[in-house]
């Protein structure tokens, strides 16, 4: 384990040294505090997942056995209501597949947005629009239901430093998404 940590550190140091002449050091200087540890967390998940970038960049929690889909959705919507974030749409994908004659376990996509924060974020970085709206996905696997959402620490910590008037609201959205996973997994509302 120590050898692997040393190897990762050496590879990262070599990479930074190699790229320092092409603006990398300037970009690194613009990152939020915690960018390096978040990068390493994602790197570790990526290697463990044998290169599956989606697995590496998502937060996921297993839904407690016995908790039904409707309870998960109600809990997630309850968090949204309590935290003043709007449910802007749902896609019961598995129901659509069944309507097309395709057998499917649950795949339910829920979309959420805080319009004011979304506007501020896209003013800061128009490309962030590609992450909008925030999605929470409930997926049935062989061992039960799982909830997935994007690891928002990746977007927050590995990006340019945000002004305080943006970072506060973005952290509120981040914390709301995390709470949705926690409460949704237990069916708590």
CATH dotted code for 58-186: 3.30.310.70
Distance CA 64, CA 57 (A): 22
Higher-confidence residue of 5 and 101: namely: 101
Distance CA 148, CA 94 (A): 16
Distance CA 1, CA 159 (A): 29
Distance CA 92, CA 165 (A): 35
| CB-CB contact of 55 with 83 (8 Å) | no
* Peptide bond preceding 83 in cis form (omega within 30 of 0): no
Q: Which two tokens stand for residue 148?
A: 């997935």
Distance CA 159, CA 171 (A): 13
Query: What percent of the chain is modeled with pLDDT above 70?
Result: 83
Q: What is the mean pLDDT of residues 44-49?
A: 89
- φ, ψ at 142 (rounded to 5°): -60, -30
Q: Which two tokens stand for residue 19?
A: 């790229």
pLDDT tens digits, 91-101: 999 999 999 99
Higher-confidence residue of 30 and 182: namely: 182
Structure pTM?
A: 0.82
Distance CA 34, CA 154 (A): 10
CA atoms within 13 A on the CB side of 5: 4
Higher-confidence residue of 39 and 151: namely: 151
Predicted confidence band of residue 34 (pLDDT cuts 50, 70, 90): confident
Residue 182: its pLDDT value, please? 97
């Amino acid at each position: 384990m120590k050898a692997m940590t040393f190897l990762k550190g050496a590879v990262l140091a070599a990479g930074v040294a190699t790229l320092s002449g092409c603006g990398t050091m300037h970009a690194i200087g613009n990152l939020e505090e915690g960018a390096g540890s978040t990068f390493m967390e994602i790197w570790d998940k990526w290697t463990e997942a044998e290169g599956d970038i989606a697995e590496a960049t998502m937060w996921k929690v297993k839904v407690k056995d016995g908790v039904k889909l409707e309870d998960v959705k109600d809990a997630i919507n309850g968090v949204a209501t309590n935290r003043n974030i709007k449910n802007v749409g749902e896609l019961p994908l598995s129901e659509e597949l069944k309507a097309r004659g395709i057998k499917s376990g649950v795949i339910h996509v829920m979309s959420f947005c805080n319009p004011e924060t979304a506007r501020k974020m896209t003013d800061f970085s128009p490309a962030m629009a590609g992450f909008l709206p925030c999605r929470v996905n409930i997926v049935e696997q062989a061992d039960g239901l799982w909830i997935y959402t994007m690891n928002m620490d990746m977007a927050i910590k590995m990006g340019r430093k945000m002004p305080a008037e943006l970072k506060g609201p973005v952290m509120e959205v981040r914390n709301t998404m995390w709470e949705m996973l926690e409460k949704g997994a237990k069916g708590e509302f």
